[in-house]
Amino acid sequence: MITLLNSFILIMIIVNIMMMMAIILSKKSFSDREKSSPFECGFDPKSSARIPFSLHFFLITVIFLIFDVEIALILPIIPLFKLVNFILWTKISFFFIFILIIGLYHEWNQNMLNWTK
């Protein structure tokens, strides 16, 4: 019993020493301004806060959020195929995809998908 306790304490000491050495070895040796500053909304936090906001960056963010929500709404449609009426499932799925296609056409018509402005 004593040898088991001694070996457990020895293993704990070795593991703690190894973790302390890993922390010391993984520290950055130099501080870089770009790497140590937070990246917020495409702005440089060290510069003036009164610069105009990039509408292009905002549109890219909104389109990303829209597509992200679309994927989250489309994924449950697949498992519901076996649980609900086929005709009702088909109508709801086509209606949802029709709304997405209309939204995509509107984004295309407004030149929001033109990334090289």
- pLDDT tens by residue, 92-104: 889 988 988 898 8
Contact 61, 43 (CB under 8 A): no
H or E element that contains 14? helix 2-26
pLDDT at 43: 61
In a domain, 114, yes or no: yes
Tell me the percentage of the chain whose pLDDT exceeds 70: 74
In a domain, 4, yes or no: no
pLDDT at 48: 67
pLDDT at 33: 61
Low-confidence residues in the chain, pLDDT < 50: none
Contact 55, 41 (CB under 8 A): no
DSSP bridge partners of 40: 43
pLDDT at 14: 96
- Amino acid sitting at position 15: V
CA distance 31 to 9: 38
In a domain, 20, yes or no: no
pLDDT at 63: 80
In a domain, 14, yes or no: no
pLDDT at 36: 63
Q: How many domains does the chain have?
A: 1
Instruction: Return the SS3 of 48.
Output: coil
pLDDT at 13: 96
pLDDT at 12: 95
Residue 97, domain extent = 53-117
Residue with tokens 């995509």, as numbered in its chain: 104
